[in-house]
Structures are given as C-alpha cells and as structure tokens.
Amino acid sequence: MKTKSIRGNSAEEIRTALAQSMTDGFKPTLAITFLSVKQDREELCKTLDDAGIAIYGVTSNGEFTGEGITAGEIAIMLLDINPTHFSIFFEEFSEKNYRQTTQYIARKALETFAHPCFLIAGSNLNTDAEELLHGFEDIFGKQVNVYGGMAGDDMMFKEQFVFTNDKSSNNGMVAIALDEDKISIKGKATHGWNAVGTEKTVTKSTGNHVYTIDDTPVLDLVIKYGGLKNVTPENFAIEHSIALPLQLQRESGDPVIRAGLVVDWNDRSYYCSGAMPQGSKVRFSIPPDFDVIEKVISGCEDLKATEMPEADALLLFSCAGRLLSLGPLISEEIEGVRKVWDVPMAGMFSNAELARATNGNLEMHGLTACAVVLKEK
C-alpha cells in the first residue's frame, strides 16, 4: 500500500497538491481528511470525488502532517489501497442511538469482510463516544480493533462535522471498515498525566452527563481545586476543566482521562465525551510536565517493538487539550511519534480519542495521544 500526505489552505491548494502527488503514477483511492470548519467542505469533497477518491472526513481543532502543525487548514492522508479492502459507512444519530448505530455498521461490514476492523469519527459534543465503541464490541467481542477520534471545530466547542463524499453531519459518524485479512491496523493511546489527591466517587451521573462527585456538583469541585475565583458563565472557559481533568479508574488497564466539554449552569454539571458511571472512582490530575511527551513516544516505540514493526501510514489523534496544556512542546511530541515509524503521517487535534487503553478495553480518552498505524499484509 502506497501512501502520501498532503496539506493546503484551500480546496484549490489541495487540488494542486493532489495533482502533484500523482505525477509518479500514484493513484489514491482513499483520503483520510482532517480540516478546519472554516474550510469549504463541499468544494474539497468535489475535488476528491472528481478524482474517484473515497473520503473519511472530520473537522479538527488544528491539523498536521509530517511537515508540521497548521491551524484553519486541511491535512490529508492519501492511500493507494485496493477498493475491495475497505468500505465507507456514514450514519446520523437519532435519539442518542449511538450503540445501535455502530451495531448496524458492524453487521453491514460483516456482509463484506469476515474480519473487519474500523477507523471511526463522530461529531457533536453531547455524543457518548463510549457507546459507539460498545456497539462494535456487542457484535465482535472485546478484542475488536477500533480506533479514531471525535471531531473538533477550531476549539470553539460549538458545532463539529463528519463527512464523506456526498454527506455531512454535525450529529453523526463516519467509519472506514477495513478487511483485517488484508490490512493490519494497530494503535496506542497514551496520556502521561499523573494523578494527585485522594480517590473520589461519582455520586450522580447518567451516561456522559456528570452531576456530582462526593455529593458535590462537579463544576464546584473543579473551581475549588483549580483555585478559581468569582466564576461565572461569562468568564469560565472550558480550558479550566481541561487543565484539571479527572482520571477514571478502571478494574483493569490504565485509568482514562475525563474532562468536561459542555457545562450545564443550571445544576453545575457537565458533559464528558465518554461515560462516567455512577459509583465509579476518580482522581484529579496534576498539570503536565515534559515527561508526558516522553511517555507518549515510548508508548509508540513499544507498539512498534511488540505489534507493528513496519507501517505504511501513521495517523495521530491528539487531544486539543494537549495543545492547550503543552503549547509549543506539542510539536516535539508529534515529531517524536512520526520518527518512530518514519512513514507518511497525518492527524488532528480532536475532542476525544478512541482506542484500547493500555492493558485494558476500548475506551473514549481525553487529553490523550492516539497513534494509529496501517500496514498492508
């Protein structure tokens, strides 16, 4: 499988980059596309569709290739992959039927592939991304390979989109089903954040809507432990909850990060991208230092050594919170991950990352870097 990454600041620039990429006979059939909500998605899709290229598309909080990070632009991984080895699925959510949606996609994929694996993306901050993963597990079991991320919107946290050649939605998902007998997909999710303080209990929650922890409104805890003063809806930024995320403890595997994305000021609760079950145990995290980058790169090196020594393409879903927390250092992290396999790379800053936790189950992650590598067998 031959791959190339391209970037541009408009559909016209992508059209030019695409043409240049094909001068040596390269004929991509699939475009994994990350772009700003400011870009003209319809024009971009027409450019790719006219070239006969299938599209997995998701809006971002910033995007990157091996050439570096951009903001407000377009980054694309082009793959010359046999069209019989993948299928694109696109579905909109209705009545929060997240689990049923992925069950449907899983069953449809089984009609084509005996052993499918998946790259997915979802939109809408209220989406319970963990339910998406459970839908795949219901059909295939706990060991199914599913990776991806949740769409962004240049950190406005208002409206995000997923799209394919002729469809777009701010409340839906796009998925690539790959024939795992032909294409290997592996991933590694690492956050590197250290926990601090005593263990606390989620005392009231419904799905990804968290009301109280230790019988205190979750927002009040964030304000208290964050040392915030005179907080109002007007001066509270979502970055405050990202700076003081919760670590959800699991019976097996590493803890996963949960940070608030949407605040309900009526009861001072908030929505996370993944479930926070009532009765579960959580701890706060301390602000990151340089070792979180070393942990991410080390995690990728471990994946290469144990499961994926070679790759044709590297995708990276890095939480927007990592960009906010690490600042300019995030470039070192992305470049360090790229060097592990030294193949074409494309990625985005996401609102959540979807992957298996280290030594654990499929999870919705936050403040995490999820590296996904593809290799033709």
pLDDT digits (tens, 9 = 90+) for 214-244: 999 998 988 887 777 888 887 776 666 666 7
- Using CA of residue 188, residue 281, residue 122, residue 158, what is the dihedral sign? negative
**Are residues 76 and 11 both part of a single domain?**
yes
Q: CA-CA distances (angstroms) from residue 222 to 240, 243, 263, 275, 292?
A: 8, 9, 12, 18, 22
**In this structure, are strands 183-190 and 369-376 parallel, antiparallel, or unpaired?**
antiparallel
Q: CA-CA distances (angstroms) from residue 218 to 224, 234, 258?
A: 10, 18, 12
Beta-bridge partner residues of 172: 92
For range 12-39, the mean pLDDT: 98
The last residue of a domain, from among 251, 270, 285:
285
The rounded distance, in Å, linking the Cα atoms of 25 and 110 is 33
For range 292-299, the mean pLDDT: 92
**In this structure, are strands 313-319 and 345-350 parallel, antiparallel, or unpaired?**
parallel
At 49, is the pLDDT very low, low, confident or very high (cuts 50, 70, 90)?
very high
For residue 353, what pLDDT is reported?
A: 94
Instruction: Decide: 311 and 281 in contact? Cβ < 8 Å.
Output: no
Instruction: Decide: 319 and 31 in contact? Cβ < 8 Å.
Output: no
**Are residues 49 and 98 both part of a single domain?**
yes
**Are residues 310 and 356 both part of a single domain?**
yes
Domain with 224, as residue range(s), is 195-285
Instruction: Decide: 251 and 245 in contact? Cβ < 8 Å.
Output: no
Instruction: Reduce the DSSP state of residue 84 to 3 states and report it.
Output: helix
**Are residues 261 and 326 both part of a single domain?**
no
pLDDT higher than threshold 80 for residue 253: no
User: Which residue has tokens 């800053």?
Assistant: 349
Amino acid at 28: P
The rounded distance, in Å, linking the Cα atoms of 30 and 110 is 20
For range 141-165, the mean pLDDT: 95
How many structural domains compose the chain? 2
Q: What is the pLDDT of residues 165-198, one digit of tens each?
A: 999 999 999 999 999 999 999 999 988 888 888 8
End-to-end CA distance of the chain: 9
The last residue of a domain, from among 285, 315, 338:
285
pLDDT higher than threshold 80 for residue 162: yes
For residue 241, what pLDDT is reported?
A: 62
**Are residues 217 and 281 both part of a single domain?**
yes
**Are residues 52 and 185 both part of a single domain?**
yes
For residue 88, what pLDDT is reported?
A: 98
Residue 215 burial (10 A CB sphere; 0-12, 13-18, 19+)? exposed
Return the H-helix or E-strand segment holding 325: helix 320-326
The rounded distance, in Å, linking the Cα atoms of 79 and 90 is 19
Question: Phi and psi of 102, rounded to 5°?
Answer: -75, -25
**Are residues 207 and 129 both part of a single domain?**
no
**Are residues 64 and 174 both part of a single domain?**
yes
- Higher-confidence residue of 290 and 154: namely 154
Lowest mean pLDDT among 114-128, 250-264, 347-361: 250-264
Instruction: Decide: 61 and 323 in contact? Cβ < 8 Å.
Output: yes
**Are residues 173 and 52 both part of a single domain?**
yes
The mean of the pLDDT values for the chain is 92
**Are residues 89 and 231 both part of a single domain?**
no
CA triple 54-105-164, angle to 5 deg: 25
The last residue of a domain, from among 263, 285, 307:
285
For residue 183, what pLDDT is reported?
A: 98
**Are residues 307 and 273 both part of a single domain?**
no
**Are residues 257 and 145 both part of a single domain?**
no
